[in-house]
Structure 1
Amino acid sequence: MTVGIRMLGGVEVELDGRPAALGHTRQQHVFAALAIDVNAVVPVDELVDRVWGEQSPQRATGTLQSYLTRLRNALPGLAIVRRSGGYALLVDDPLTVDVRLFEHLVDRARTTSAPERAVELFEQALQLWRGEALAGLDSPWAVATRELLDRQLFAAELDVTDLRLQLGRHGVLVPELVERAAAHPLDERAAGQLMLALYRTGRQAEALAHYEAVRGRLATELGADPGVELRQLHQRILTANPVLAVPARPADQVVPRQLPAPPTGFAGRADELAALSEALADTGGVPIAVIVGNGGIGKTALALRWAHLRIEDFPDGQLHVNLRGFDPSAPPVTPSTAVRGFLGALGVEPRSVPADPDAQAALYRSRVAGRRLLVVLDNAADVAQVEPLLPGSPGCAVIVTSRNRLAGLVTKHGARPLIAGILDDSEARALLDNRVGVRRLAAEPDAVAEILALCGGFPLALSIAAGRAQIRPGQPLAVLADELRDASTRLGVLDEDDPGSGVTAMLSCSFDTLTADQARVFTLLGLVPGDDIDLHAAASLAGLPAGRTAQALRDLEQRSLVSQDSPGRWRMHDLVRLYAANRAEDPEAALRRVVVFYARSAQAGNRVLDPSFPVTDADEPIPPGCQPLAPSDPMAWFDEERRCLLAAQRIALEHGWHLAAFWLAEGQVIYYYRRGRHHDNLALWQAGAAAAEHLGLGVQGVAHRQLGRAHSRLHQLPEAIDELNRALAVFEQAGDLGQLSRTHQAMALVLERRSDDLASLDHATKALDLALRIGHRLWEGEMRNLVSWYLARLGKLDVAHEEARQALEVFRELDDRAGEADTLDSLGLIAERGGRHADAVDHFRRSIEMYRELGNFTVIAGLHDRLGRALLGLGDRPAARRAWEHALAQYHEQRREADVERMRDQLAELD
């Protein structure tokens, strides 16, 4: 929706070009009081004062809220919101408010050194005025604001008049200046402007007479004489001083116009264009913007688009040079060659150009001094190539494009870096629209969507795809989509029509400059299992020490071949990945290193989360160059690496690395349980079970048990029981008492979901007996707690409490926080079933707190469920509602539909 808010005249609002009704005068006061500080909070007291002043009604706040409600209804496209003690009118662009736009244009006019452009900006600002500001509003605030805006208007009128006089437009100014001088008879600046215009139009006597009139009025009304400037102007008019003539541009000044044609089919980049405008604003120095990005990302197109849009800001010309920093067909342009070219464009005869490069650069700086020039240095290789081409005096602006970051320009010359990234979906679609045509794209929406996805917002790839479509007008776009679909041939398709300018050629220019370490890391990053990679995984992938890998990554980022979307995580564009992977040497060995890195690191993280977790006994050597990690914060590490771990498991299965695929499932058991990602956990263990089929019987038993637990957490009980029975059979055959104990424990938990507490107690008791036989102290605590849980559910509270007490002793002895939290949950259930609701609430809340500290959010939903029942037993219905609402949100997040429905029913009953 387009919005226009006008206050430089009557207060008006337009929504999509149609006027909106603001209501009566006092309601207009409210709107204006918010709009004058658009996007800022106006405190309620201040708002009341602006609307009524000292005459505010007794219930001003209530009346104000009524007006705000009416305004919201009348202005559906605008947001009037309550914020921290006040209200704010929110708009996407503050310049939709004419007061803000007026101030913006005036500021720009006052900071530009080009008089013609400054006049245009002033004129745009003055045209916004439709009459008296805030017309019809009469509060003290409105009157004071109107006076302030009138002073700003008068100042702008005086400023633009000075510029018009400077440009020799005095002839048309006289009527306007006569009127202004009459309106402001004591303003000496207005008087001086009229006197100068009269003098230049041959009306010297009238100019002198006006001076005498002003001098007499000042003496009569203020008892003062004219100021120094007006007296000096009077004297110069008396003597016809030549300094009063219109300044003239030197006749021999050459105005270069070296910009190439504007880019065709340009689309999007609104944010980047705005950032360039901000970076190149005239601040009294030489502003420099450095556009950085990969080859083919559209740096040159962006620079030229901005330069042509702002060409009027540089009336003294534009200089442009392609420095060929990454051109395979020619060596880079030397600074001396570029300077000589600039001097020729500025009208310097070749024989007048000195031979010494430093002298050439000095002459160049002298020639551009005092001029308003834009200098575009395209495709720069490094800082040394750019520095001699920088102007040395204010008035000029410089745009540099490069694949390298050119940090020296930032640190030494204050350049503003601008990273050119890929186009978003709408921008990419607009580019194809501009090149191929809207009708043709609309005829094949599915093919177009696939082409956009396969080009990935990469401007060069999109342009090449558009070119192929243009030169084959009779061919369906679906054929082009088919050609691009195969990753192994995609680059070839994008290179076919113009091999020297395709994606491969563009990337080869950058690749050929890399050192051995940089090339190794770059090519192997094309094999990354997930979307991105961290330093530790990259070091294992490359088989290099972490320090050398980190340096190579930094160098590649400087060359715009990789990027960090988040700190410490590196990624490539899909097309760059394809190119890199095609250049990789011994890719299978590199993939093996990184897959084992992820598998071993996941196991290490799992052991930190649960030191008692029984790791499958298997021995496989770590490949040379692989450097597994022991995560210090496993939950955070798993959060970051989750997608990469899933991709690594997929690659392991594809290559037949079965043990690594199984380890990747086993190493994430505790993480997925604590995060409540049960659907993902099931998929992980389906892959783990497929890998286990190629391993020993014990590994298969573990896979069946974990699959059973995964099914049970999704309430897929028949599948869960079937898998757990398979696991029990395997471990009984193998005589593995420890694994039998863990599997009986799992079976007890599954049968609980069927409300078969007797059967659950039977399996929990068997699990406890086995734990006692093998002397595993921690497992003894776990199984005692499990037995106490089912005893409590069966109403045997005394014996349940004793088992829970012994379990708590074990966990506190072993400093096992997870076990202690679990046992507090059991004690809470025992207390709640025994009618000791206050004790139950205490136990549940302590358990919730401990689980939160551990990052285990799976069980917290059930704990809030039970906490709600205990609170209800205490008669605290509001607290019970809050607990159950919390449980409902967590059940919903975990996609536990049966629990979601049950919780909704409980809340409904509570109502």
Structure 2
Amino acid sequence: MEMNLGTPKRRGLLALLLVHAGHPVAVQDIVDVLWGQDPPDRAVNVVQRHIGVLRRLLEPGLQVGSNSRWLVRGSGGYRLEVETDALDLLRFRALRRRAGAVAENGDAGQATKLMIEAMALWRGPAALGITSETRSHPVFTAVDQEHLAAVKEAAEYAQGAGADLGARVLAPLRQAAAQYPLDEALHAWLIELLAATGRQAEALDVHRTVRTRLADDLGVDPGPQLTDAQQSVLRRSANRRDTSSSGHGGSAVPDEGKEADQPEGTIPRTPIAVRPAQLPAELSVFTGRDAELDRFQRLLPAAGDCPSTLVISVIGGMAGVGKTTLAIHWAHQVADRFPDGQLFVNLRGFHPADSAMHPSEAARSLLEGLGVLARDIPADIEAASSLYRSLLAGRRVLIVLDNARDAEQIRPLLPGAPGSLVIVTSRNQLYGLVASEGAHAVMLDLLSHEEALRFLSRRLGADRVMGAARAATEITTLCGRLPLALAIVSARAILNPAHSLESIAAALREAHGGLDGFAVEPPLADARSAFSWSYHALTPSAARMFRLVSPHAGSECPIEAVASLVGEEVHQVRAPLAELVRAHLLTETVPGQFGCHELLRAYGTELGRGDGEEAAAARHRMLDHYLHSAYAADSALAPSRERIDLRAPSPGVTVMRFADQSAAADWLDANRTVLLSLIDQDARNGTGGHAWQMAVTLELYLDRSGCRSDQLAAQTAAVSAAQRLRDTLGLAHAHRTLGFVHGRLEHWDEAGSHLTRALELFAGLGDQAGEGRVRRYQAFLANRRGRNQEALEHYAVADALYRSAGHRNGEASISNEVGWTYILMGRYDEALDECGWALAVHRKTGDHNGQAAAWDSLGYAYHQLREYECALICYERALELYRAMRDRYLEADTLRHMGDTHQVVGRPAGAAHFWRQALRILAGMGHPEAAIVRGKLEKLVPADGMLLGV
């Protein structure tokens, strides 16, 4: 039940009665808590009036002069009758008592579970909604101390409860550490529990942070509890190193300021987040290329020697000649000489749709392989490349960059320090890398006649090949001695052991294929016979799948997209997929993801040109798959968000379903490149309907990711597509989303123009919710430009529109945004009321985005009211939610606010810590506000930049 309690004193009175629920509170004690040393003359009468109002609020039908069931007079004071299950504080105390009793009996696991349940009831400091003077009274600070003691008890119990339960205690423990930044015992428990749950590096980082804070704020060194906790972590790390095999099993954590012992002359090693092992499986029947392998081996220093250079090897050659196979084979041979791991990325340099991987996307993949969280990866390629090189400095990593287009695609992905090996494959010769980076180039030719025969022998058996030597030689000739074609023919021969090599050679002579576009290279033209022979041996369902999937089988095509392309259930496509994989016409790159070589894709695409309407229907189903799956992911990320209505997907379309926000965000991250490419392709070459709907559906995800260039391109394509379709509703939404992006980028004129056009279109459609949303965006722009009164006018119109449309969440969002505007205008108490109401509504509806925004606004209001600890607690809540939702920009905005609060209270190290995090995000986004944060850091620290660290 929501109640408008009115004045701060009345809120304080109810809070006091709740703290003492079930026990009488003397009138004089009430006066003391509410007014301190300076009560008004008629304070007792004022208390009585407040009690009367509270009674009527608690029992709306209560007559004046009647006795209350809940708020009772007696023993010289007032008592609030509350059942234990009706008040979180009473439940918290009861659970804490039970946990203590269980712990005494030796059941740490059950005690921890009870404390986790108890702490889940805690939503912030006691009586957060009352004045700071009243909150400072010991009766309320004592309740906060109850919570602090409970968190420490939970951490103690969790030490013996196992890693899973221990991990669940970390969140409340971190929140308490943020609220009490100088409590050494609390931070010692946090360090101990982090280490106990396998987070040694984070534990040491907490120790460094609190040590710096103690020195800056109090001028003291850590006490024995913190020191003992740190030594415990280091002992754990040492034990892990002792029980791990050399060079494997994760990183060791050396003592602070001290390198672990290393052989003389080796490169100093620093901890790495994960040890990547991304090399694809080695081909067990690899054969040939002896001269090239011998040349590669001479490039590396002798085993045990310290490498003095970065080794770059470029393997060039025509499509299908075996560049990737050779690169992977050599990489496996030398992998043990690079103990910090192996990275692999397919750069898609010669994809027929001209969708070569951008260096920033490749850098993202490599950084994720090194253990960097997606939210911490800069979008800007220079920043991402700098982070990548920093992580590789002092390490020995083997990096395979497969299928590169040109040197410009490669350069940002090269390490900046010696010790690593980079293997590059490309159809081009990459003279630029040879000339400027000193790369060693090896151009692969076709297999020799002897190598081609050995190739067949390794796969089919020497006896079978030697017993039909003339036919085997003819097969190698008909395949142009091209490894890809030979592999496909070998696979077919293995699947049909009764077929003689003579009959296979005859079939190849008679086969006819496509690939006319490759006819300029005779070996590729010769490969058509091998492809055609394998294709014609397929079952009809597998052949149809190959034709429909080939145009879309880039580096990865998920099984759900394959099912949608062919219009069948996922379980129905597994058999034909397996048949295509066995025939080497498709490759399962990772479980559930399929692709094929560019030559095979070109061949399959040519075969499919005769399918006409069926091919068009397949593409429409594929677009439906990605559109409706993106819509489902958006719904999981923000269930209460306003979104467009979609038509039902076409029959035969598989739509992804997501269990939670994390699964939805992971799917969007994994398919981001495909989704953006489909928006662009459909806007330019398709019907356009999928383009604008997909772009508008991805509005929130792209905004949270912070990559404004992608956001701008997608929404610009949406406007173009909707205009071409003459779709008024689509055009209204597209102008709205594009106007908002321009507003984010501070392109005021463009933003205003698009939003004005969107408002006109929504008004013409009679779409009040759409009008309300545009008005909110216009208010957002007005606030960003300092026009607060104009913003309030927009919000008033938007609120009326939302009320008329019955849009409860929209009203709550406007209330929070009005509260923010009040803060900008210095009307802080009004802001607390507006934002508090918004938070309550968003909690009821489960709108996490709305909750995060309200917590951030409350934090900013409390900061302006100089209630800094309350501000930090609110910011922590907002930060947790924004990170869970992967909203990069608003995460940075909250971090910036937290730094501001730490600066005001005289904690420069804390301010620098949060501003640095904000700067990394904003700089990675290329956002103009990065300069503001950088300026804050430069003013905070001396010229040597000791604290800056950016």
Higher relative contact order (CA 8 A, sep 6+): 2
Question: What TM-score do you get using the length of structure 1 for normalisation?
Answer: 0.50
- Give me the TM-score of the superposition, normalised by structure 2: 0.48
* CA radius of gyration, larger in: 1
